[in-house]
Chains A and B, each alone.
Chain A
Amino acid sequence: MHPVFILPTFSARFFCPGRHTSAPLRSRVRQCLPFLLLGGIVLLSGCEKARETESVPALVNRGWENFRLGEFELAVADFQAAERIAEGKDRAGALFGEASCWQYRRDGRDTARADQLYSELLASAGGDVLAPWSELARIRIRHFGQIEPPPDYEALAGDYGALYQRHPGHPAGQEALVNRFAIELFDAAKAPNVARKSVPALEAFLKDHPGSPFQSAVRLHLATCYQAMGQPEESLQWRIRAFESRESNVANPNANESGSYWTIARAARFEAGNFAVARQYFQKLISEYPNDQRIFEARRALSEMEQIEEFVRAGGNPADWREGIKR
């Protein structure tokens, strides 16, 4: 029972004892129920009235605030109130907000309803800036909307690719392209042909959208492709280019460069055999992140590379280094 109803029920019992002594509690509650419900309806309609006097942007903003706080019931009510009074672009914003609530809420999630709202937005405001985002969201529903069974990844990749073709200049379209290759290249090492076919499209993206915030992600996909194609040095260079063109969120200490340094150094060491680059990035890790958990292994790697070089200089075959070097 909602707490709002508990107090009047008890109050009725305590303040009017004579009236309630004979009837059992349940029947008394039943007697009070119509009044309580009426009170509730009056209260709620009052809230609705208050909502409808607000402006659409205020309602949408509050809807998103409630969305961020996980108050989805309230967020949906805000967005719906906005939908009732909004027109054109504003209505698209409200529809998008409500659809997002149904798509992302954990309790009471209704992806079918979300999909329907995105479709409504596309039908009524196809030219709106939110239209490509709605298209992307509809594909995402099929991608992550349910945990099991796994989605049809091939179809998803096709849909993401088609979305990019429709909106190559829109951030939603560009994000879709990155999504497509994340799906197709997830195990590229075992599918070099897929990697080979992907390279032209990825390189074309870099050429066509030099200012895109997805440049780094696309370069990383290229690094994956070249690795799968047996060109580790080319892969390493793409990895470095991806790192150099990354978006740097300086406010995030965990989005530090230690992970990138480690990955580049490791690829340079084991995959490309480019010890100069490996040393450079292991050293960066050690000097810039002296508290990092991997410093021990970085120093060990530096020492091992020295030993391998010594071994080869002494005439050893690098393939036999493990047997040749006593750790």
Chain B
Amino acid sequence: MKRAWDFFASRLPFLVIGATFVWACVNIATRTVKRDKPDEIVIRIGHWQLETGVRQGLDELAREYEKLHPNVRIVQDAIPESTWKQWVSTQLMGGTAPDLLEIGNMEPNLVTTFYLRYFLPLTQWVGQPNPYNADTELEGMPFLKTFKDGMRRSYIEETQEYMNVTLSMIGVRLIYNKDLLMRLTGLATPPDNYREFLEMLRKIRRQKDAYGRPYIPISSSGWHFSRWDAALFRPITYPALRLMDFNKDGRFGKEELFYGLATGRVNFEHPAIQAYLDLVEEVSEFFPGGYTGLNRDEAVFPFAQQRAVFIPAGVYEIVGLKEQAAGKFALGITRFPQVDRADPEFGKIFEGEPYENQEGGFSVGITRSSKHPDVAWDFLQFLTSRKGNEKLNKAFGWIPIIKGTEMLPEVTAFQPVLEGVYPALDATLGGETTIKWMQLFSLFQVGQLSKADFTQSFSDFYLGMGREDFRELIRNRYRGIQRDEQVAAGQMARARALEGTPEAENYWMKYRAIILGRVLENDAQSRRLVKEVNAGPQQGSPALDDYSAEALQRIRSDLQKEKLP
């Protein structure tokens, strides 16, 4: 008996593995049988959007599509965000990925690699009209023109192709408990003005609930801080951009901050950067103690329990929050408060409200392993038709991406502001500076490091150890150039293979766009950037927003000519 038991015990692990293997085989075999019913096409769509309403909305549209196409069945694979990266990687590498796959939620370099290896370019289709827009004002319009953002986010420079389709637009606003706000402050809506908003928060904080606990004016966490950072704090740094816009393109790049500091054009004492730290200090005073250690869900609890009045939320969280509030309290949605020119402290720095990017979210691509890419594309067209996208986003509770669509009334508050300022501060140049910034900034956030100490400590570190991060950033640019060259070589091969046809010129154009616009441009800019940074502060360097002597002369002479008869 003992011998038999020993025999069994010694083989137990292998028996378990074997049984699992057999179970997996049976499972796969039966699934295959299910899918391989004659005439039935199964289209799988994989995504990480587990927010309330998304799966239901997709299901609803899928069933409608199935009615129109009885031989097609749509199946959803909704995967938690925490395991998304691993799941996607294994599915793509194993050739078992869904036909349609949401793209993102991983490092940009990885996304680029995945695009190149595992996704089908959609360029051939996006110029054609969407057949599901028949009998609407979008009928006959090229697919890409039916999008509010012109499918800008779908065109991937590295591949020079359209690679995805976005289903929605996203936005972030401040959500509040209407009943609690009224009870604690007597206000039906919160003020837009920053100073008045702070005053209201003070009033909230002074009051206590039935258990004697003070109310939390703003529910927050490390994750929620980033919402405030983008919507209120960081945009105040905009004026500093003019001092360090190295390539004069009107946009901010993190290497430009290092350039600005290394060449002495700007420093962390700049009023715009100091104003940023002031705003962080003033507002985070109303966050719960130790909020930086809380996660996203933990910040929602006090709001749902009516202990907190405000919480920032993305449009995709509204349905969930509404469910939590149902029957307990009314939800309000408002824009983040803003500083204005009359502000006694920040008025001189303030230039305008923050610009909000009008680009799509929920990007979906077609995988190369799809057996029916044409059907997958057809389903995408259905989801992004005027009627389909409106219905889908009403179910999601999000903002539709297609022109002429209507949205839920509460979602209109999420419409982006399209004219405004943007941040000119990102000191996370690479690994070392990112860690240091996080360490020191979290101490500053919780009041364990003063603004002056933070400025001094980080500035010293950034200009010292930051140099290695800067060098690595430049090395990464050259790694990017190598990848661009590879894509260019592929475009050239296509062009050569099609020589003599009209498409060949299209591929040659793409080849030259990569070589001239990315490879040579990045090489020349990187060389100049390194040269300037290594030269350090230079006497007499003209400011980047100064008029040249020739320009001033021309202005005068043009105006003199104006006076002539």
Instruction: Give the chain B neighbours of A312 by CB distance below 8 A.
Output: 555-556, 559
Q: Mark B461-495, 1 if CB is under 8 A from A, else 0.
A: 00000000000000100110111011001101110
Which of B11, B123, B419, B550 contacts A230, CB < 8 Å?
B550
Encoded as 1 (CB less than 8 Å from any B CB) or 0, chain A from 285 to 327 comes to 0000011011111011000000011001100001101000000
Whether the pair A252, B493 counts as a contact (CB closer than 8 A) is no
List 22 interface pairs A-B (beta carbons < 8 Å), by A numbering. Answer: A69-B117, A103-B489, A144-B523, A171-B508, A182-B520, A186-B528, A230-B550, A233-B554, A270-B546, A270-B548, A271-B551, A272-B548, A273-B552, A291-B358, A293-B250, A293-B422, A296-B351, A296-B355, A296-B421, A297-B250, A309-B555, A313-B559
A283 at the interface (CB under 8 A from B): no
A247 to B514, CA, bound (A): 12
**A187 surroundings in chain B (CB, below 8 A):** 527-528, 531
Q: Are the CB atoms of A274 and B490 closer together than 8 Å?
A: no
B281 near A: Cβ within 8 Å?
A: no
Closest to A286 in B: B419
Q: Does B352 contact A (CB under 8 A)?
A: yes
Q: Which stretch of B149-157, B216-224, B267-275 is in the interface? A: B149-157
B50 proximal to A (CB < 8 A): no
Which residues in A have their C-beta under 8 angstroms from that of B506? 249, 251
Contact A251 B555 (CB under 8 A): no
Q: Taking the complex as formed, is B553 at the interface, i.e. its CB lies under 8 A from any CB of chain A?
A: yes
Tell me the smallest distance from the CB of B96 to a CB of chain A, in Å.
14
A186 touches B482 (CB 8 A): no
Q: Is the CB of B493 within 8 A of A67?
A: yes
Question: A289 → chain B, closest Cβ, in Å?
Answer: 10
- Are A270 and B512 also in contact (CB < 8 A) when A186-B528, A233-B554 are? no
CB B526 to nearest CB in A, in angstroms, measures 9
- Set of chain B residues within 8 Å of A61, measured between Cβ atoms: 497
- A148-197, CB < 8 A from B: 148, 150, 153, 171, 175, 178-179, 182-183, 185-187
Interface contact A97-B355, CB-CB below 8 Å: no
Judge whether A70 is part of the interface by a CB distance below 8 angstroms.
yes
CA distance A175 to B520 in the complex (A): 11
A67 / chain B contacts, CB cutoff of 8 Å: 489-490, 493
Main secondary structure on chain B at its contact with chain A?
Answer: helix
When distances are taken between beta carbons in the complex, the residues of chain B under 8 Å from A64 are 490, 493-494, 497
Least CB separation from A61: chain B residue: B497
Minimum CB–CB distance from B520 to chain A (whole Å) comes to: 4
Contacts of B497 in A (CB 8 A): 61, 64
The one of B123, B421, B478, B485 in contact with A140, judged by C-beta atoms closer than 8 angstroms, is: B485
Contact code string A247-291 (vs B, CB < 8 Å = 1, else 0): 101011111000100110010011111111000000000000011
Contact check, B14 vs A14: say whether CB atoms are below 8 A apart: yes
Q: How far is the CA of A266 from the CA of B248 in the complex (A)?
A: 8
CA distance A283 to B419 in the complex (A): 15
A: which residues have CB within 8 A of B? 10, 13-14, 17, 61, 64, 67-71, 97, 100, 103-106, 133, 140, 143-144, 147-148, 150, 153, 171, 175, 178-179, 182-183, 185-187, 213-214, 217, 230, 232-233, 247, 249, 251-255, 259, 262-263, 266, 269-276, 290-291, 293-297, 299-300, 308-309, 312-313, 318-319, 321
Contact B248 A309 (CB under 8 A): no
Bound: A64/B351 CA distance, A = 52
Q: Which of B401-459 contact A (CB under 8 A)?
A: 418-422
CB of A100 within 8 A of CB of B545, answer no
Please report the C-alpha to C-alpha distance between residue A35 and residue B351 in the assembled complex, in whole angstroms. 75
Partner of B547, one of A143, A213, A233, A318: A318
Q: List the 7 closest pairs (A to B, CB-CB), nearest first.
A: A273-B551, A273-B554, A104-B486, A68-B490, A186-B524, A318-B552, A64-B493
Q: Could you say which residues of chain A place their CB within 8 Å of the CB of B352?
A: 296
Say if the beta carbon of B18 comes within 8 Å of chain A.
Answer: yes
Find A275's partner among B11, B248, B558 (CB 8 Å cutoff): B558
Known contacts being A13-B14, A106-B482, A272-B554, is A262 close to B548, with CB within 8 Å? no
Q: With A144-B481, A249-B510 known to touch, is A272 a contact of B551 (CB < 8 Å)?
A: yes
Query: Is the CB of B251 closer than 8 A to any CB of chain A?
Result: yes
Residue on B with the closest CB to A150?
B527
Question: Which residues, 216 to 265 on B, are CB-close (under 8 Å) to A?
Answer: 248-251
Q: Could you say which interface size class chain B belongs to?
A: 35 or more
Q: How far is the CA of A133 from the CA of B352 in the complex (A)?
A: 51
Smallest Cβ distance from A276 to chain B, in angstroms? 8
The residues in B between 348 and 402 inclusive whose CB is less than 8 angstroms from any CB of A are: 351-352, 355, 357-358, 368
Whether A254 and B490, one on each chain, are in contact in the complex, defined by CB atoms closer than 8 angstroms, is no
Whether the Cβ atoms of B144 and A253 lie closer than 8 Å is yes
CB < 8 Å neighbour of B512 from A70, A247, A272: A247
Q: Per-position contact with A for B16-49: 1 when CB-CB < 8 Å, else 0?
A: 0110010000000000000000000000000000
- Contact among A171, A175, A262, A275 for B250, CB-based, below 8 A: A262
A296 neighbours in B (Cβ, 8 Å) = 351-352, 355, 419-421
Interface centre among A69, A140, A254, A266 (most CB of B within 10 A): A254
Q: A213–B508 contact, CB under 8 A?
A: yes
Chain B 80-117, CB-CB to A under 8 Å as 1, else 0, gives: 00000000000000000000000000000000010011
Nearest CB on A from B564, distance (A): 14
Q: 20 new A-B pairs (CB below 8 Å) besides A104-B482, A143-B523, A313-B559?
A: A17-B11, A97-B493, A144-B519, A150-B527, A179-B520, A185-B524, A186-B523, A213-B508, A230-B550, A253-B144, A253-B155, A255-B517, A269-B547, A270-B545, A270-B547, A274-B554, A276-B558, A296-B419, A300-B351, A312-B556
Q: Which residue of A lies closest to B160 (CB)?
A: A252
Q: Are B490 and A232 in contact (CB under 8 A)?
A: no
Assess whether B78 is interfacial by the CB under 8 Å rule: no
Shortest Cβ distance from B10 into A: residue: A21
Contact A232 B551 (CB under 8 A): yes
